[in-house]
Amino acid sequence: MAQPRSAGAFPSPFDFVHEYWVDAMQRTVLVLDALRQRGDTQIERAERLAPHVLTFEREVLVDGRTLPRPVNYALLRITAPEGVVTDPRKRPFVVFDPRAGHGPGIGGMKQDSEIGVALRAGHPCYFVGFMTDPVPGQTIEDVCRAEVHFLERVIALHPEAEDKPCLIGNCQAGWQIMMMCAMRPDLPGPIMVAGAPLSYWAGKRGMGSMRYSGGLLGGSWLTALTSDLGRGIFDGAHLIANFEGMNPANTYWQKAYNVYSKVDTEAERFLDFETWWGSPVTLNGEEIQFIVDELFIGNKLASGGIASSEGVRVDLRNIRSPIIVFCSWGDDITPPPQALGWLLDLYDTDEELAASGQTVVYTVHQSIGHLGIFVSGKVATKEHAGFANAMDLIDMLPPGLYEATFADIDEGTANPGLIRGEYLFRLEGRRLDDIRALGVNGPEDERCFETAAKVSEVNRALYEQTMAPAVRALANDAAAEQLRRLHPHRLRFEAFSSLNPFLTAVPGLAGLARRHRQPVGPDNPLLAMERMMSQAVAGSLEAFGKARDAMAESLFLGIYGSPLLQAVVGLDPSRVHEGARGMRDLARERAAHGLRAELERNMEHGGPLEAGVRGLFHVLRADRRMDERAAALLETLRAAQPAERHIPRERFRQVLREQALTLCLDEERAVAAIPQLLPPDAQIRRRLMDIIRRVVEAQGAPSEEAERRLAHLEALFDAARPASKQPAPSH
């Protein structure tokens, strides 16, 4: 091979052409070798029972196949890497893997991951993963029941932990653990769902085109047909193909060109990612049918329309643990409206949300893609690390809606010693109108989706009565296996593997290219032309994708917006779809009335702890914000109680919730009653007031309104009160 041109030499056109040609040939060979390695890896991993990409050592605690209702899931205990120490008394973290077509292990693919940040924070960590093939007959409900068993096992392993486990569900695992927690709200601590579509209909025109696909395919009959052709097995490669189709520019050009243009540095990263991406798993037909019918097309999780086999309705309003939603504008699979729109399906007003006792925290990233939400190292070290460090704060929040923000720490940051991570974790009070501002459907669009769901039911019933018997009779195991093997997602791996005789010489040529590598110079005009061509191709594919999505939206709205079609499926065009808001739950209403009555009865009753918490929340409500610095001092309220009145943390959280709801009920009356809760000892009252001021000022200088409330609170605490009127503390 020719030597690279020397620095400072004036090259001729021939030099540029020769230099570029050598580099292009070398890059081509190196890319072919990377594709060959990818294919070999996929073939090898296809033989494994559970082809995890976990980088952490682990121990299998519970094999879901041994449960009374067996499933292909397992509970793993993660072993902390060398140099990392975990405390069994700390809150355990349980990461749930998304079974959405790809292989298992994505939540722990890197050291900087959800698992990694939890371990570094000293928390015991567990992982719920899955095997390639489902257990025959397993259903989504069976998986939820298995997850309940896993969670009970984790709790039993940490009897000394004061805090309930934190659950993290990525993508499909997010809505799955939300279902599980709605069925067993007594088990979990904070619940974090990352990139999880909880309200599949939600959005606004011009975004979220995937939500139209079910209607444009005529409903879920095609899902049933695919499962029948697979002998009751649905190939996850179909789901991967759907994901890839969302971004044709990246799928058909940018990903490959990125490897080709930076093959010296990108090949390793490409192979790491493809190890997970290229290992599709399968689902039972019953499982995928439930997902498509109940969630993707029916949107029944957000509307409270799912019931267990025992007839118990799965209602997200049953969840009492804080719910954390992490989403991104760069996520075209689960945009923010789909991740957060369920709140609008459940609640009409902010008062209703707060009165329900539910705490919801969300954060919206501006650019990261769907997979980056739970794969990106930068996200792990910022957002996930911030949430891991702030779980105790989140677990003590008053009911309501909050947005989490992450601020840089600089010289002007007050009390930096109270900040645990590299960023200041802050919570800002929000309203449902902030969720509406992300994008919501109008009544006409809601009726379109409702019509599509009705049409899907009709088409599915027609398929079951006409085509299904013949398809099931003709399908056989050998043909089903061959269909899976010939799926383009699998076939491309086998085509570019060592099984292909045309690639026999590639490893040797690649080794030669690496030994004599001659990268093209950055000033080569042919390299500039290559990049311009790449941008043109990517731009064309991106324009195609946008035009396709716009056409899909127009077709969907045109078809399902027809008043005639809506009438045919039995919908009143003038009726507005209300989701769960229109469904009465008498048991819930009785419980809500009972709680309200109890709060009113206890408004003038309690002790120093109730008085301190109520006063603190009254001041904090002035600015509707709270950050980790205040939370670091919040525990001092509990510690300030006399030794003989030790308050367990769970009871402390209950007091926080009760006093926050009391303020929501009638803030003026609740604040006026504070002197009646205080002890006659002036020294105790002063110490309590000092703690309140320190907590408020830990976040920096209070606002003018917060200062006014602090002054008013000090006057209430200074008020003398006869000892005979002191009521007994409620705890």
The better pLDDT of the pair 597, 490 is held by 490
250-269 in b/e form (b: 16+ CB < 10 A) is bbbbbbebebbeebeebbee
Q: Assign 568 a pLDDT band (cuts: 50, 70, 90).
A: very high
Q: Assign 92 a pLDDT band (cuts: 50, 70, 90).
A: very high
Kindly state the tokens that stand for 429. Answer: 């009070």
8 A C-beta contact, residue 545 and residue 247: yes
Q: Assign 435 a pLDDT band (cuts: 50, 70, 90).
A: very high
Q: What is the pLDDT of residue 615?
A: 92
Average pLDDT over residues 234-241: 93
Q: Assign 586 a pLDDT band (cuts: 50, 70, 90).
A: low
Residue 396 to residue 384: CA distance in whole angstroms: 19
Please list, in sequence order, all residues whose beta carbon lies within 8 angstroms of the beta carbon of residue 631, skipping any fewer than 6 positions away. 390, 392, 393, 396
Q: What is the pLDDT of residue 581?
A: 55
Residue 353 to residue 400: CA distance in whole angstroms: 6
8 A C-beta contact, residue 220 and residue 352: no
pLDDT at 667 over 60: yes
Reported as type and span, the H/E element at residue 711 is: helix 704-718
**Nearest to 176, CA basis, from 239, 95, 297, 105:** 95
**Nearest to 338, CA basis, from 171, 213, 208:** 208
Q: What is the pLDDT of residue 2?
A: 45
Kindly state the tokens that stand for 370. Answer: 């769907």
Residue 181 to residue 169: CA distance in whole angstroms: 12
The better pLDDT of the pair 52, 583 is held by 52
Give, in order, the Cα–Cα distances in Å from 612 to each of 78, 231, 500, 599, 640: 40, 63, 73, 17, 10
Question: Mean pLDDT over all residues of the chain?
Answer: 89
Place of tokens 């298995």: 146
Average pLDDT over residues 463-482: 95
Q: What is the pLDDT of residue 724?
A: 41
Q: Assign 354 a pLDDT band (cuts: 50, 70, 90).
A: confident
8 A C-beta contact, residue 379 and residue 372: yes
Residue 430 to residue 493: CA distance in whole angstroms: 47
8 A C-beta contact, residue 164 and residue 89: no
pLDDT at 640 over 50: yes
- Identify the top-confidence range among 99-113, 275-289, 566-580: 275-289
The whole-angstrom distance between residue 53's C-alpha and the CA centroid of its chain comes to 19
At residue 475, φ and ψ (nearest 5 deg) are -70, 145
Residue 524 to residue 74: CA distance in whole angstroms: 54
* Helix, coil or strand: residue 343: helix
Residue 242 to residue 234: CA distance in whole angstroms: 14
Average pLDDT over residues 263-275: 91
8 A C-beta contact, residue 55 and residue 108: yes
- Residue type at 173 in one-letter notation: A
Number of helices (H) and strands (E), helices first, in the chain? Answer: 34, 13
The whole-angstrom distance between residue 54's C-alpha and the CA centroid of its chain comes to 19
8 A C-beta contact, residue 326 and residue 361: no
E strands, 86-174, are 93-96, 125-130, 166-170
At residue 106, φ and ψ (nearest 5 deg) are -60, -30
Q: What is the pLDDT of residue 417?
A: 84
Per-residue DSSP letters for 350-416?
Answer: HHHHHHTT-EEEEEEESS--TTHHHH-HHHIIIIIHHHHHTHHHHHTPPSEEEEEEEEE--TT-S-G
Average pLDDT over residues 308-329: 91
Least confident segment among 274-283, 293-302, 579-588, 629-638:
579-588
Q: Assign 9 a pLDDT band (cuts: 50, 70, 90).
A: low
Give, in order, the Cα–Cα distances in Å from 531 to each of 245, 260, 525, 537: 24, 11, 10, 10
The better pLDDT of the pair 685, 360 is held by 360
pTM score of the predicted model: 0.90
- pLDDT per residue as tens digits for the range 371-392: 888 877 788 778 888 888 888 8
Average pLDDT over residues 216-234: 96
Q: Assign 589 a pLDDT band (cuts: 50, 70, 90).
A: low
Q: What is the pLDDT of residue 445?
A: 93
Burial class (CB in 10 A: 0-12, 13-18, 19+), 700: middle
45-65 in b/e form (b: 16+ CB < 10 A) is bbeeebbbbbebebeeebebe
Q: Assign 545 a pLDDT band (cuts: 50, 70, 90).
A: very high
Least confident segment among 109-118, 402-411, 638-647:
638-647
**Nearest to 295, CA basis, from 170, 194, 173, 200:** 200
Percent of the chain with pLDDT over 70: 94
Average pLDDT over residues 89-94: 95
**Nearest to 76, CA basis, from 59, 56, 64, 93:** 59
- pLDDT per residue as tens digits for the range 387-407: 888 888 898 888 899 999 998
Residue 613 to residue 603: CA distance in whole angstroms: 13
Q: What is the pLDDT of residue 587?
A: 60
Alpha-carbon torsion (144, 148, 153, 155), positive or negative: positive
The number of residues in the chain equals: 731
Residue 392 to residue 649: CA distance in whole angstroms: 10
Q: Assign 726 a pLDDT band (cuts: 50, 70, 90).
A: very low
Place of tokens 């029944």: 300
Residue 14 to residue 11: CA distance in whole angstroms: 8
Percent of the chain with pLDDT over 90: 59
Domains of the chain, earliest start first? 58-201+299-436 (3.40.50.1820), 586-725 (no CATH)
pLDDT at 68 over 50: yes
- Residue type at 633 in one-letter notation: L
Q: What is the pLDDT of residue 723?
A: 45
- pLDDT per residue as tens digits for the range 498-525: 999 999 999 999 999 999 999 999 999 9
- pLDDT per residue as tens digits for the range 113-143: 889 989 999 999 999 999 999 999 999 999 9
Q: What is the pLDDT of residue 584?
A: 54
At residue 402, φ and ψ (nearest 5 deg) are -135, 150
* Helix, coil or strand: residue 137: coil
Residue 19 to residue 40: CA distance in whole angstroms: 32
* DSSP label of 195: S
Q: What is the pLDDT of residue 661?
A: 87
Q: What is the pLDDT of residue 137?
A: 94
Residue 541 to residue 122: CA distance in whole angstroms: 46
Residue 609: how many CA atoms within 13 Å on its side-chain side? Answer: 26
8 A C-beta contact, residue 673 and residue 719: no
